[in-house]
């Protein structure tokens, strides 16, 4: 647990408006040492329950806490895409490759996470340790039991002998679950969890329960990175910088945490949380495999959302996933898109749409487009007409998801009016481009990407968030 006062501090700013990383990086001792703040925090953070306990987590010892906020790299600032941004993207892709190489590789003394491995990989893991292959299958059963019954620690592998469990722990083998750091529930049932990772970074994941044709659905919106280097102007995550990519176990864990919170299985997964999944392709693909094969989420019920990273859509096409690729377009032309998405400068819309066509040819799966409606910026009838004509002419008229902008701190955009949203949708459909308006879920729980994480850090105690209920 974290002391309130240090985290509640608002971000300091330097003269050029960049955040002061040092002011944001207090090393905070566990709250239990300071009884007063500890009591205050306990009301707001998750109680130490089965769902919140980490593998080796112990809330009663000093925990060095890296702030959830990720400061931007030196030199990165709002405005046009610059070399420093391109460098951050290259670094992010390299980091993803390194993370993927290390996941699943036992390194002397380094913690090794089992979560994210498939049954066949776990069988091999067992064989490598001189155990019969079926022990690997038993481990898989414990890891992916679901609905809150999934193992949190090696001690939960109750079908393995105590001796084997002790041996695994001695080799620093872990399940790889995060600690539940905070829960925020909105009145419509949408729930955001902040998960504290083993390096004390915090990511958010969202559970969205819904009923469709009488059947219940539980969608989990997962993060793929800690922070994001893409800098989309209206996105809360993009207001900060990039720290690192999530490993497969850290992605899969988000789904298990949502299952534990709701006590039921997740039916759909959308990679629409923090981060740009196509900067983290190898780990996203590994997580996808585990979600599909082990947790049983149908590939068609998994959506990977991207703002576009040159060269990455073909990597995804190569994987031949039967999943939905959603492209965040947000503008009907290059000039406007660049003002909303600075990175569009180096991956022009023409190239992006051509890659979407190629994706369709290669996989037989049409691309879905997301369009965040920003009041007075990209939501006018002429924008709808231009978008409709563009997608129809290119034979890309698959589906447009219209997302009304969710207000984000430090961003001046406005939410469009209901009438504007309806008119935009009607114009698209009049041009034979199917469109739907995404119902804003959990606005009161800080719905936009990365927003809760930012909000939580600024208002760790004083915010309107409900106490933990897990
Ligand atoms: N980086 C990926 C996935 C994360 S964002 C991408 O850009 O697609 C998932 C979706 O939420 C994107 O379409 C993004 O544009 C949208 N989004 C982010 N912040 C938003 C906000 N404040 N209001 C409305 N939509 C937002």
Q: Is position 221 annotated as part of the catalytic site? A: no
The tokens for 104 are: 């699943």
Choose the weakest-confidence range: 17-21, 33-37, 56-60, 83-87: 33-37
Catalytic residue among 204, 250, 276, 386: 204
**Residue 180 vs residue 446, higher pLDDT:** 180
Cα of 172 vs centre of ligand 1, distance in Å, is: 37
**Residue 23 vs residue 403, higher pLDDT:** 403
Cα of 240 vs centre of ligand 1, distance in Å, is: 14
Confidence band of 21 (pLDDT split at 50, 70, 90): very low
Residue whose CA lies nearest to ligand 1 atom number 4: 272
Choose the weakest-confidence range: 165-169, 263-267, 381-385, 460-464: 460-464
Q: Is the pLDDT of residue 146 over 90?
A: no
Candidate of 245, 441, 449, 453 to mutate for ligand 1, largest count of ligand atoms within 8 Å of Cβ: 449
Q: Which DSSP helix (H) or strand (E) runs through 372? A: strand 368-373
Rounded Cα distance, 198 and 175, in Å: 12
**pLDDT value at residue 177:** 97
**pLDDT value at residue 441:** 62
The answer to whether the CB of 144 falls within 8 A of the CB of 231 is no
Q: Is the pLDDT of residue 431 over 90?
A: yes
Residue whose CA lies nearest to ligand 1 atom number 8: 306
Q: Which atom of ligand 1 is nearest to the CA of 274?
A: 4
Supply φ then ψ for residue 39, to 5 degrees.
Answer: -65, -40
- 3-state SS, residue 9: coil
Cα of 37 vs centre of ligand 1, distance in Å, is: 35
Enumerate residues 6+ apart whose C-beta is below 8 A from 296: 265
| pLDDT, tens digit (0-9, with 9 covering 90-100), for 232-282 | 999 988 889 999 999 999 999 999 999 999 999 999 999 999 999 999 999
Distances in Å between the Cα of 95 and the Cα atoms of 12, 88, 212, 225 are 28, 10, 39, 11
Cα of 242 vs centre of ligand 1, distance in Å, is: 16
Mean pLDDT of the chain: 81
pTM: 0.84
DSSP state of 417: P
Enumerate residues 6+ apart whose C-beta is below 8 A from 139: 114, 122, 125, 126, 157, 160
**pLDDT value at residue 62:** 41
Rg of the chain (C-alpha set): 22
Q: Is the pLDDT of residue 34 over 50?
A: no
Confidence band of 135 (pLDDT split at 50, 70, 90): very high
Encode 178-247 in three state secondary structure: CEEEEEEECCCCCEEEEEECCCCCEEEEEEEEEEECCEEEEEEECCCEEECCCCCCCCCHHHCCEEEECC
Cα of 411 vs centre of ligand 1, distance in Å, is: 14
**pLDDT value at residue 32:** 24
Q: Which atom of ligand 1 is nearest to the CA of 326?
A: 8
Residue whose CA lies nearest to ligand 1 atom number 10: 272
Q: Is the pLDDT of residue 61 over 70?
A: no
**pLDDT value at residue 68:** 61
**pLDDT value at residue 444:** 52
**pLDDT value at residue 185:** 87
**pLDDT value at residue 70:** 84
Choose the weakest-confidence range: 58-72, 110-124, 437-451: 58-72
Enumerate residues 6+ apart whose C-beta is below 8 A from 16: 77
Choose the weakest-confidence range: 50-59, 73-82, 207-216, 245-254: 50-59
**pLDDT value at residue 307:** 98
Helix axis angle for 83-102 and 281-293, nearest 10°, is: 40
Q: Which atom of ligand 1 is nearest to the CA of 450?
A: 19
Q: Is the pLDDT of residue 318 over 50?
A: yes
Catalytic residue among 228, 232, 235, 449: 449
**pLDDT value at residue 389:** 96
Q: Which atom of ligand 1 is nearest to the CA of 235?
A: 19
Residue whose CA lies nearest to ligand 1 atom number 14: 328
Cα of 202 vs centre of ligand 1, distance in Å, is: 19
Residue whose CA lies nearest to ligand 1 atom number 6: 306
**pLDDT value at residue 331:** 98
**Residue 334 vs residue 411, higher pLDDT:** 334
**Residue 441 vs residue 373, higher pLDDT:** 373
Q: Is the pLDDT of residue 30 over 50?
A: no
The answer to whether the CB of 25 falls within 8 A of the CB of 11 is no
The tokens for 470 are: 């897990």
Q: Is the pLDDT of residue 429 over 80?
A: yes
Rounded Cα distance, 171 and 444, in Å: 44
Q: Which atom of ligand 1 is nearest to the CA of 413?
A: 22
Choose the weakest-confidence range: 50-54, 194-198, 376-380, 440-444: 50-54
Cα of 235 vs centre of ligand 1, distance in Å, is: 6
Residue whose CA lies nearest to ligand 1 atom number 1: 276
Q: Is position 429 annotated as part of the catalytic site? A: no
CB-defined site of ligand 1, < 6 Å: 232, 234-235, 272, 276, 305-307, 328, 370, 372, 403, 405-406, 408, 448-449
Q: Is the pLDDT of residue 79 over 80?
A: yes
């Amino acid at each position: 647990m974290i002391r309130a006062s240090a985290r509640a501090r608002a971000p300091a700013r330097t003269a050029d408006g960049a955040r002061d990383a040092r002011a944001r990086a207090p090393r905070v001792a566990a709250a239990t040492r300071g009884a007063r703040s500890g009591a205050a925090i306990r009301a707001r953070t998750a109680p130490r329950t089965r769902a919140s306990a980490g593998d080796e987590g112990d809330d009663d010892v000093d925990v060095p806490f890296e702030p959830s906020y990720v400061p931007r790299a030196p030199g990165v600032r709002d405005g046009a895409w610059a070399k420093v941004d391109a460098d951050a993207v290259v670094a992010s892709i390299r980091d993803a490759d390194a993370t993927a190489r290390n996941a699943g590789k036992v390194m002397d003394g380094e913690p090794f996470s089992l979560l994210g491995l498939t049954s066949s990989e776990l069988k091999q893991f067992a064989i490598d340790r001189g155990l019969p292959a079926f022990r690997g299958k038993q481990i898989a059963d414990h890891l992916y039991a679901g609905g809150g019954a999934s193992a949190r620690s090696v001690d939960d592998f109750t079908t393995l002998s105590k001796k084997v469990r002790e041996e695994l722990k001695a080799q620093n083998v872990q399940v790889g679950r995060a600690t539940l750091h905070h829960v925020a529930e909105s009145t419509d049932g949408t729930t955001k969890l902040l998960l504290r990772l083993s390096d004390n970074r915090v990511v958010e994941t969202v559970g969205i329960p819904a009923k469709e044709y009488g059947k219940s659905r539980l969608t989990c919106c997962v993060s793929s990175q800690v922070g994001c280097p893409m800098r989309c102007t209206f996105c809360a995550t993009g207001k900060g910088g990039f720290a690192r990519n999530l490993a497969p176990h850290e992605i899969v864990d988000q789904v298990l945490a949502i299952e534990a919170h709701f006590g039921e299985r997740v039916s759909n997964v959308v990679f629409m949380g923090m981060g740009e999944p196509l900067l983290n392709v190898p780990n996203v693909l590994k997580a996808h495999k585990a979600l599909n094969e082990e947790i049983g989420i149908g590939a068609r019920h998994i959506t990977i959302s991207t703002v576009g990273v040159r060269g990455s859509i073909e990597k995804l096409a190569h994987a031949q996933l039967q999943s939905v690729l959603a492209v965040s377009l947000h503008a009907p032309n290059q000039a406007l898109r660049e003002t909303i998405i600075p990175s569009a400068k180096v991956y022009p819309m023409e190239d992006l749409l051509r890659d979407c066509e190629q994706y369709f040819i290669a996989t037989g799966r049409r691309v879905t487009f997301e369009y965040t409606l920003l009041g007075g910026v990209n939501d006018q009838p002429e924008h709808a007409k231009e978008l409709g004509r563009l997608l129809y002419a290119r034979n890309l008229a698959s589906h447009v998801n219209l997302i009304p902008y969710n207000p984000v701190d430090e961003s001046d955009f406005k939410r469009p009016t209901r009438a504007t949203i309806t008119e935009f949708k009607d114009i698209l459909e009049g041009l034979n481009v199917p469109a739907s308006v995404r119902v804003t879920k959990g606005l009161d729980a800080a719905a936009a990407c990365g927003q809760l994480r930012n909000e939580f850090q600024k208002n760790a105690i004083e915010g309107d968030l409900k106490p933990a209920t897990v």
